[in-house]
Structure 1
Amino acid sequence: MPRNPRNQIYPANEDLPAARGGGPLVRLWRARTELLLAAVLGLAGTLLVRAAGDGHLLPLALTAGAISVPAATRAGRGWIAAHYWCVVSRHRLQRVCLETTMHTRAGRIPLILWITPTATGEKALILTRAGISAEEFEAYSEEIAAACWARSASVYRHRARAQFVVVEVVRRDETPGAAGPGLDRLFGRRAWVPLRPDLKEPPDLRRPREPALIG
């Protein structure tokens, strides 16, 4: 029995191999953010312990200030929360691909090249595998939203390079100052085509409006 019959792209009677999470290098790449953070914290902790053992208190004071100042400000807490949800959404998107048919017959899932905060959630740039298209991501948009604990998910395909897909996760009302650099720097403002007819270009990929003339 297919897990999701309405979007099943493989024959129901075909004996497909189970989707796999990838080899050791792939798993390390997917956990790069957590590994890098753990390495930085471990190195900083080692240096602080050595400094404290030598009687140098200035590094301890500088570290305490560097941690407490961002945590005490609204902008700092917002930046931390926005990037935390980027990590969560990246892993949840990978899980959706593993649990649905958004993987190849060999069990390989699409690559999440980049994920960045937006004013309403997160936006991921994805490189699809052979046999997977943007239309399949759109078919599973409800599963993506549920997996990411979000309100909704929108899918956009690159106008000239169909292997590139943008998945926009919307989890809250617009939050000023939470948006990242945007994907328009990679491919241009008019490069993305929405998969749903009721959508337009993503908000941060639209051209700025011309000022109205008075008089």
Structure 2
Amino acid sequence: MFTGIIEEVGEVVGLERRGDSAVLTVHADTISSDLVHGASIAVNGVCLTVVGWDGPAGEVRIDFDVMGETLARSVIGSLDVGDRVNLERAVRADARLDGHVVQGHVDGTGVVLSRTPGDAWEAVRFGLPAELARFVAEKGSIAVDGVSLTVSEVGPDFFGVGLIPETLRATTLGGRLPGDPVNLEVDVLAKYVARLMETVQS
């Protein structure tokens, strides 16, 4: 489980295709301090398993196995060498939950529709797939490329958020341009409520 509070922005140094799967290699500094084999790390909001690493402190390259399902349902498969990615280690049981409950299970992808700068923040709209629209509510939570955000507006095929300077600085969202694809994970509580209502109504 994750919280959507990004610890570090890493850099892709390799994406090796192996049939219907791949090995993603990312350069990281902060999150490499306590690596263990099999650890879970969210890469742009996708929960991936550490399968190896090498390099001295400050230059660690981490390898992750990526399944075909992940390549098909997220934007991980379209990453290129040099791309920046949001990184977060799994939350500790004794840590504060500063964001919201994020599973690292991407529900779909969207695109940046528009950016409107403000005096101290920026309003950003994202395209919202029709099948996810019912899970997104104003003032509710959503993870965009692994970043925990509060929804400020919802339309039939879009949602909007406000990005504070710290989010613009400390995550990849500060550099996303209109047309750029992003991973989306809706609030897990909304999914369970929807599933419960379907069960009751049937």
Please confirm whether the aligned pair reaches a TM-score higher than 0.5, indicating the same fold. Answer: no
Higher relative contact order, chain-length normalized (CA < 8 Å, sep 6+) = 2
**Which of these two proteins has the greater Rg computed from alpha carbons?**
1
TM-score with structure 1 setting the length: 0.27
Higher helix share: 1
TM-score with structure 2 setting the length: 0.28
